[in-house]
Amino acid sequence: MDEELQREQEFIDGLYARVDALRGGTEAELAGALAPVGNGLQARLERDVLVAERSGLLAALNAVDGSLCFGRIDLTEGTSHHIGRVGIREDNAERTPILIDWRAPVARPFYLATGHTPMGLRRRRHISMNGRTVTELHDEILDLDDDTRTGHEDPAGDAVLLAALNSARTGRMGDIVQTIQAEQDRIIRAPHRGVLVVEGGPGTGKTAVALHRAAYLLYEHRELLAKRAVLIVGPNPAFLGYIGEVLPSLGETGVLLATMGELYPGVRATGTDTPRAAAVKGRAEMADVLAAVVRDRQALPDPVLAIEHDRDVLMLDDDLVRVARDRTRATGLPHNAAREHFEGHILNTLTDMVAERIGTDPYDGTNLLDASDITQIRDELAENPAVWSAIDELWPRLTPQQLVADFLADPTHLSDEDAAVIRRKATRAWTPADVPLLDEAAELLGEDDRMAKAAAERERREQIAFAQGVLDVSYASRTYEFEDKDDEDSEVLGAHDIIDAERMAERHEEADHRSAAERAAADRTWAFGHIIVDEAQELSPMAWRLLMRRCPTRSMTLVGDPAQTAEEAGVGSWEKILEPYVEDRWEHNRLGVNYRTPAEIMDVAAAVVRAANPAFDPPSSVRSTGTRPWARAASRAELAATVAKAVAESTPDEGRLAVIAPRDLHRELAAQLPGITAGAEPDLTHPVVLLDPRQSKGLEFDTVLVVEPSRYGTSDLYVALTRATQVLGVIHSTELPEGLHLSPSGV
Ligand SMILES: Nc1ncnc2c1ncn2[C@@H]1O[C@H](COP(=O)(O)OP(=O)(O)OP(=O)(O)O)[C@@H](O)[C@H]1O
């Protein structure tokens, strides 16, 4: 090992010694905290907080262990800083930083400095590690007047990047913290206020940048974001699995990853829609349609409703109910929340009716009843179940699930054609496109405040009762424990001394140790601190309404590529998506370099899009491999066997291979490919995976075999062709689609 490497290894050893000590200390604290703490409620509360904090710290330390430090910057004024995934400080009074978090401002020149703008740097060093062992150093000289050399110079400054791009895929996305490029860094660290749109072709690092941005924002605005949580929305569960390890590898766990279908608590959207049905359900007009559907449920009698009361029959006619309904609607409250007003109006109307009947003086027509008589009549009416069933009929309490299921079973306020497209049995599973409808319905219906308040009050009373029980036990134990002591001013206080049952119940409520992300996942009305949407071009206007409700501050990062839009439901332009919410107050950024797909593959994919759109401007690939994509023709009968043969020939020793094929061929292909993973949520860490084009969105593999490309639409084909980091093969029994030019060679 040369001297330079040796010195670096010694530093890293010191770093790990400090981390191990930190970890040991944290573990001991955690073990101590988990020991029984007796009945001290305050102590228990503090213990819980400590446990949560320390567990988080431990998880972060464990997550970054294998790749703690990855860089160093040497400043012209003589000092240097090591850069890592987390920040570590010396165990001294000054708490001197020994490892700088990559997100700290001090680390920024590591990503941005160039020979042209050195930002005070003399040298930038990339440190490659294998476990805790330093394996390689790559130095870039940034101060051209400095002639010190280490023997590890990397004149082009891209060796580490290229090694990362060429390495075998694992089926899980990794972080790019060691090699974030300047154009990406600017997006990652952009101010968090307002809407930031990041657009870029396949492989330009949009997803990577979005995830690093989440980590950066959590670091920079920890106070706010740890409390409000960050939501990351991705296109499908397989994709969420694919990106799920990036943030933990950066020491961040407090983020909620979800698909649109998971954003209505209590509903699992396991069904699927046809693209056409999803498009109809996703239209902005659906908000008005649902509002009309709710209004339809605020019924009028046809023409009268008879209510038996006190051996008499009261007739509620449509005019009377219309008045009650108009007044209730005029409150502007959501349906369920407004019901209290409707009930009041109806009870008053019926009270007047009864009072008139029994209280009118037959001689002069004046009413003989006094206020207390009227109150009594009203109370009696309020006790009559027949009155309540009339109210239920005219202004029923509704749940979003009921309303949307009924609507889908019999769609109204739509053209016959659209209604036929979305009609389905009420018992069918919810689909992702139903989730924004449910959310819209929940907004229109509102909470029934009284029910919620009553439940909250009940819960509070239960908690007080529970707390009282705990206090009684601790009080009893205090008498027992301290009976020998005659010291009245004992410093050990019993629960009764410091807290009463009611306050303890409140404490109990506060001591909700779920993370903000967990609480957010369970709460439909949660307002996130920041929302990141990947593949944002796919979301429908109704989905945008849901997301905007979850983010009143409009602090959002939207990443996407209009050329990869597949969903009919998707919104065509950023202007159209954003105009209703932020008008033109949003920022647009482009990423122009493709880090995934080698130039040879990108040329082929771009030609396909150009055939449909000659003005198309693809991203430029950062590398080429010299391997040209190939095509192999087969008869229809031999298609599956040909794919199986190609898989056998092409499966990399290390890394992953994907077969991308139309869904209806999957059964036939899987039969020839024993051991392949497929299905709705395939295990992407498996060496060979079978996907349909939509599922392959956002993913990448070393080798990709695209089957029957003529069956795909242009954007789906573009997505499928741009998934490979090394090798692309196409297998077809029908003619290749326009623009797809490949050498007809074998593998
Ligand atoms: N600065 C970088 N250093 C190392 N690898 C990078 C860098 N930027 C991007 N990559 C890698 O390039 C690949 C593509 O990135 P990513 O998936 O984020 O692209 P994308 O723009 O979301 O692509 P698509 O639109 O096709 O889904 C990933 O493997 C990612 O790790």
* Closest alpha carbon to 152 in 137, 131, 169, 167: 137
User: Residues 191-202: what's their mean pLDDT?
Assistant: 90
Q: Residues 449-464: pLDDT tens digits?
A: 555 556 666 666 666 6
- The verdict on whether residue 207 carries a ligand-binding annotation is yes
Q: How many helices (H) and strands (E) does the chain have?
A: 28, 21
What pLDDT score was predicted for residue 40? Answer: 67
161 lines ligand 1 (CB under 6 A): yes
Name the fold adopted by 182-264+524-591.
Answer: Rossmann fold (3.40.50)
What pLDDT score was predicted for residue 486? Answer: 38
Element (H, E) at 631: strand 630-633
Place of tokens 């891209």: 158
Percent of the residues in the chain that have a pLDDT greater than 70, as a whole number:
88
What pLDDT score was predicted for residue 492? Answer: 36
Which residue has the least CA distance to atom 18 on ligand 1?
Answer: 205
563 lines ligand 1 (CB under 6 A): no
What pLDDT score was predicted for residue 208? Answer: 96
Q: Which atom of ligand 1 is nearest to the CA of 561?
A: 25
Pocket test residue of 179, 180, 204, 660 for ligand 1, highest count of atoms within 8 A of CB: 204
| CA 712 to centroid of ligand 1, rounded, Å | 24
What pLDDT score was predicted for residue 599? Answer: 97
Percent of the residues in the chain that have a pLDDT greater than 90, as a whole number:
62
Place of tokens 């439940």: 455
Q: Residues 700-744: pLDDT tens digits?
A: 999 999 999 999 999 899 999 999 999 999 999 999 999 998 888
Q: Residues 46-68: pLDDT tens digits?
A: 777 777 777 777 777 777 777 89
Confidence of residue 402 (pLDDT cuts 50, 70, 90): very high
Q: Residues 344-373: pLDDT tens digits?
A: 999 999 999 999 888 877 787 787 788 899
- Read off φ and ψ for residue 198, nearest 5 degrees: -120, 115
Q: Which atom of ligand 1 is nearest to the CA of 165?
A: 5
Task: Please count the other Cβ atoms lying within 10 Å of the Cβ belonging to residue 629.
Answer: 24
Confidence of residue 688 (pLDDT cuts 50, 70, 90): very high
Q: Which atom of ligand 1 is nearest to the CA of 175?
A: 31
731 lines ligand 1 (CB under 6 A): no
700 lines ligand 1 (CB under 6 A): yes
179 lines ligand 1 (CB under 6 A): yes
CA dist 441 and 399 (Å) reads: 8
User: Residues 467-478: what's their mean pLDDT?
Assistant: 44
Pocket test residue of 102, 111, 112, 176 for ligand 1, highest count of atoms within 8 A of CB: 176
Confidence of residue 36 (pLDDT cuts 50, 70, 90): low
CA dist 625 and 597 (Å) reads: 10
* Closest alpha carbon to 515 in 254, 179, 316, 144: 254
- The verdict on whether residue 120 carries a ligand-binding annotation is no
* pTM of the predicted protein model: 0.85
Question: Residue 727 gets which letter from DSSP?
Answer: E
Sign of CA dihedral 519, 523, 527, 530: positive
Confidence of residue 487 (pLDDT cuts 50, 70, 90): very low
What pLDDT score was predicted for residue 47? Answer: 72
Dihedral Cα 330, 336, 341, 344, nearest 10 deg? 150
- The verdict on whether residue 205 carries a ligand-binding annotation is yes
Correct CATH for 599-744 of 1.10.645.10, 2.40.110.10, 3.30.70.1060, 3.40.50.300: 3.40.50.300
Cis peptide before 303 (omega within 30 of 0): yes
| CA 564 to centroid of ligand 1, rounded, Å | 15
SS3 304: strand
200 lines ligand 1 (CB under 6 A): yes
180 lines ligand 1 (CB under 6 A): yes
Confidence of residue 479 (pLDDT cuts 50, 70, 90): very low
Domain pair 182-264+524-591 / 599-744, same fold: yes
Which residue has the least CA distance to atom 24 on ligand 1?
Answer: 202
What pLDDT score was predicted for residue 496? Answer: 40
The β-bridge partners of 83 are 71, 100
Q: Residues 636-661: pLDDT tens digits?
A: 999 999 999 999 998 878 889 999 99
Is residue 495 pLDDT above 50, yes or no? no
User: Residues 420-437: what's their mean pLDDT?
Assistant: 93
User: If you average pLDDT over every residue of the chain, what do you get?
Assistant: 87
List Cβ neighbours of 600 (8 Å cut-off, separation of 6 or more). 624, 625, 626, 627, 628, 629
What pLDDT score was predicted for residue 471? Answer: 46
Which residue has the least CA distance to atom 9 on ligand 1?
Answer: 205
Q: Residues 509-546: pLDDT tens digits?
A: 545 667 788 888 888 989 999 999 999 988 999 999 99
Question: Residue 360 gets which letter from DSSP?
Answer: B
- Going from N- to C-terminal start, the domains of the chain cover 3-155, 182-264+524-591, 277-445, 447-473+499-509, 599-744
Q: Residues 545-564: pLDDT tens digits?
A: 999 999 999 999 999 987 77
What pLDDT score was predicted for residue 484? Answer: 34
Is residue 747 pLDDT above 80, yes or no? no
